[in-house]
Structure 1
Amino acid sequence: MAGLINYVQESYNELKNHVTWTPLPEAQRLMVVVAVFSILFSLAIWGVDTVFSNVIKLYFDKIVGTN
């Protein structure tokens, strides 16, 4: 149990005294960049999924459906 308490104390000390935190304006700017990229990436995945779904539907309607 003493090892766990020591670990928590050292972790707290490390976070408080040795970690350099990103300034709030830069963190906000980076958050906007990540949000925009995530939206664009999800739209790209949705587009590719839609195209593949239509191609597979066309395949099964035209090719497999004629047998």
Structure 2
Amino acid sequence: MSKIVNYFKDVQEELVHKTSWPTWPELQNSALIVMVASTIIALIVWGMDVSFDNTLDWLYKQLY
């Protein structure tokens, strides 16, 4: 049981004293970057989906 207690004490010590936490402006900036990148990737995937759908529709109309 003492090993478990020591483990959690070590975890708390590391989180409180050894971990460098980002500041609020850094978190906001990172979140904004993730949102913009996610939007761009979603638009690219949507554009590919629409173009493949239109291409296959045209191809099927030509063949049948």
Shorter chain as denominator, the TM-score bin is: 0.7 to 0.9
**Superposed displacement of residue 40, structure 1:** 1.1
4-13 or 40-49: bigger deviation: 4-13
In structure 2, the residue matched to 1:37 is 37
Length, aligned pairs only:
64
In structure 1, the residue matched to 2:13 is 13
TM-score (norm 1): 0.79
- Structure 1 gaps, min length 5: none
Give per-residue Cα distances to partners, 1:13-35, cap 9 Å, x unaligned.
11111000111111101111110
TM-score (norm 2): 0.82
Q: Which runs of 4+ in 1 moved over 2 A?
A: 1-9
Quote the Cα distance in structure 2 between the aligned partners of 1:45 and 1:26: 29
Report sequence identity in percent: 28
Quote the Cα distance in structure 2 between the aligned partners of 1:3 and 1:39: 46
54-63 or 18-27: bigger deviation: 54-63
In structure 2, the residue matched to 1:58 is 58
